[in-house]
Structure 1
């Protein structure tokens, strides 16, 4: 029988009380075990951190990946992760970026808790049980890789996007029935990666319809203390109005060791350079996103940050 490791990481799924807060794992796991399908070989585990997902960072997801990779050494190859929905897309993309197709991994969560306010019984109306059962069924019947299971939809983890804050149909992405060919590489996570991730500074700036002169002021302020990664979310296919002063400001930021990446603020669709407004990309020497969405780009930037120390190395290896 296939052994499934069910990992609890907090989130709405395991919340109780008013206002909602994550139930301590030692109290939640026994309640969770009572509803698990008897015909499956499931063992419950507690993630290294049980926190609200809005507080999750790269460090938490790398520790989770480490845990999964250690469990693989104990003959586990099937994993279901219960995670909060706020950053579920980022968790999914990060796990996909580091685990690749080395295991069968399905992440899920819920828009309402499994248990009632007291934490003593399951809620009469909740999507938690349905999402859990769907994830458990999917993990043993789908090809190796990382996926997000939610509201009877199984999507590739790299493409995940939270599209609604409260509805049960909360996520969008590429359905696995589309059979997209994705690059799936395993990257073992070591303690040094976790430590380095604590200082990972990634800033995303969404273009607004303001004068270029104001854009320059904003970026010059940023130039004083630049992040490791600056993501520019342009309009449409990545359009961003530029002039020589703004390009020079971006190059000055990049010269301080900040990798600058152009993407689009539009949820789906590729970056294109066919518009005249994008001619500046040819000589600005910035990176162009080739990712499936915002979370996927975050995961790729994190992986590049851990692997390479200079912007020049990022440019050499960006499209590998």
Structure 2
């Protein structure tokens, strides 16, 4: 049952993307939308009257298989629902890449949907239904998470700008702050209760057709010799990515060495964006330490307080703008990443 929820406001559309929420069987696999959505609608019809539309994404699958084309399809689906008059959308998503989808929608939707729209993304660690696909699973967190998401949408007032939230384990957080912290149990996600982060400003209209061809590489720093680090980074840059995200130690620290400096100079000449983030979940990057400050001298951009998922989303937004290398660097530096 849904308690203490104002259900008198605008209708809500639900998008089903698969994930554990709609899984059955052993091993677990998502039910096809044609099977799952009618059952879900039947279960929710009395206690969740604001849910007026149940639709499925183009591909129902485990969220670990999602790729940028899926996010383009999701954006198009949200645009279509907005054109139908839905200002509030609840998205049921697998947990593996939920934080990435949430952060990406928070970056893109304000720029590609003209009217304000409110999104809440949820999922579950345990299937909604029993293995037979009929009865509710009494041990599942699925219905509880959906109720949290539904309440967030019902209780939210009309706003002047779009917003995107993640609802899980009885809590909700701004999308850009969320990270998955447990693979199989609850609590599943952690976030911070800060204000919504404004998306990266758009100098040129986003080219959504550039989204499927994103090429972002990640380097996870380990305590290795500087020569080895340089060699590994050089291999990444030689593969011609659009951007390289370095997950460094502490507050964005990496050993300073001529070999690493040379590779970073090569990245600048190859017009590969290099952004340094941190392996630490909270606190973000700052260049207060000499071990990190030197990176800025070689054109490396700071991730600020952004998580890996939020960094991916912000880089995607930047790379979907028809800008040159210098413009992209300036755009990144001019925007706070907190």
The interval holding the TM-score normalised by the smaller chain is over 0.9
Partner of 1:69: 79
Q: Extract structure 1 runs of 4+ deviating beyond 6 A.
A: none
- CA displacement, residues 214-265 of structure 1 (integer Å, 9 cap, x when unaligned): 1122122223213111001111100100212211112212322311101111
Offset of 1:312 from its aligned partner?
1.1
Pair 1:99–1:261, CA change in 2 (3 A) = same
**1:286 to 2:300 alignment:** yes
**Counterpart-to-counterpart distance in 2, 1:185 and 1:283:** 23
Matched residue, 2:314: 300
1:240 aligns with 2:258: no
Specify every segment of 5 or more residues in structure 2 that has no aligned partner in the other structure, as ranges.
Answer: 1-7
Q: Structure 1 residues 81-90 or 277-286, which shifts more?
A: 277-286
170, 179, 183: which is aligned to 1:161?
179
Deviation at 1:184, TM superposition (A): 4.7
Give runs of aligned pairs for residues 114-125 of structure 1, distance below 5 A: 114-125=128-139
Q: Deviations over 1:137-159 (max 9, x none)?
A: 11121355100000001011000
Matched residue SS, 2:144 = helix
Secondary structure of the 1:7 match is strand
Residue pair 1:161, 1:171 contacting (<8 A) in 2 also: yes
Greater alpha carbon shift after TM alignment, 199-208 vs 153-162: 199-208
- 2:189 and 2:258 map into 1 onto residues whose CA distance is 40
Aligned to 2:49: 40
Aligned counterpart, 2:3? none
Residue pair 1:15, 1:21 contacting (<8 A) in 2 also? yes
CA shift at 1:120, angstroms?
Answer: 2.1
Aligned to 1:174: 192
Q: Secondary structure at the match of 2:12?
A: strand
Query: Residues 3-18 of structure 1 correspond to what in structure 2 (within 5 A)?
Result: 3-18=11-26
Q: Does 1:113 align with 2:127?
A: yes
**2-side partners of 1:191 and 1:271: how far apart?**
27
Q: CA deviation at 1:168?
A: 2.0
Matched ranges for 1:1-320 at <5 A: 1=8, 2-38=10-46, 40-42=49-51, 43-100=53-110, 102-142=116-156, 144=159, 145-175=163-193, 178=194, 180=195, 182-184=197-199, 193=208, 195-318=209-332, 319-320=334-335
Partner SS state of residue 290, structure 1: coil
- Contact in 1 for aligned 2:72/2:212 (Cα 8 Å): no
Q: The residue matched to 2:213 in structure 1 has which SS? A: coil
CA distance in 1 between partners of 2:184 and 2:280 (Å): 21
Q: 1:13 to 1:73 in 2, by over 3 A?
A: same
CA distance in 1 between counterparts of 2:119 and 2:135 reads 28
Structure 1: state its 5+ residue gaps.
none
Residue by residue over 1:249-286, the C-alpha shift from the partner in whole angstroms, topping out at 9 and shown as x without a partner, is 12212322311101111111121111121232242012
Query: What is the Cα deviation at residue 121 of structure 1?
Result: 1.9
State the SS of the aligned residue for 2:152.
Answer: helix
Aligned CA-pair RMSD: 2.0
User: Distance in 2 between the 1:298 and 1:291 partners?
Assistant: 13
Moved more, 266-275 or 231-240: 266-275
* TM-score for both structures, normalised by structure 2: 0.87
CA contact (8 A) 1:226 1:253 kept: no
2:176–2:197 CA contact under 8 A, matched in 1: no
Give the distance between the partners of 2:237 and 2:36, measured in 1 at CA.
46
